[in-house]
Amino acid sequence: MNQGVRSRAGLPPRARITAALWQQLSAADRARFLREDLRAWEVHRHRIAPALAAAVGELRASGRLRIGAAEVVGAVPGDEEALPSR
């Protein structure tokens, strides 16, 4: 067994398939993906469990959770409570 296969053994099935597909791409195709499609991939590959998605949906529907855009403009090292945003 080669080192590449052994190092992926602990990954979930989708991650193993993704890694195998990535390795099959040419250098030019990898560069094009990183340039043109990476952002869309990053958005769609991060998913939450269905039960958690349902709980978040219920909180949003009840008005107990609001989601909005923000930007972190600073932080104080060691103080997780002090994250100013605007």
Question: What would the pLDDT profile of 7-65 be if each residue is shown by its tens digit?
Answer: 445 556 777 788 888 999 999 999 999 999 998 888 777 777 788 889 999 999 999 99
What integer pLDDT is reported at residue 1 of this predicted model?
39
Amino acid at site 8: R
85, β-bridge pairs = 72
pTM for the predicted model, two decimal places = 0.41
Question: 32 is written with which tokens?
Answer: 């094009």
Q: What is the pLDDT of residue 4?
A: 45
Count of H helices and E strands in the chain? Answer: 5, 0
Cα–Cα distance list, 39 to 13, 16, 22, 24, 49 (Å)? 22, 20, 16, 21, 21
- With CA atoms as reference, report the closest residue to 21 among 40, 45, 35, 29: 29
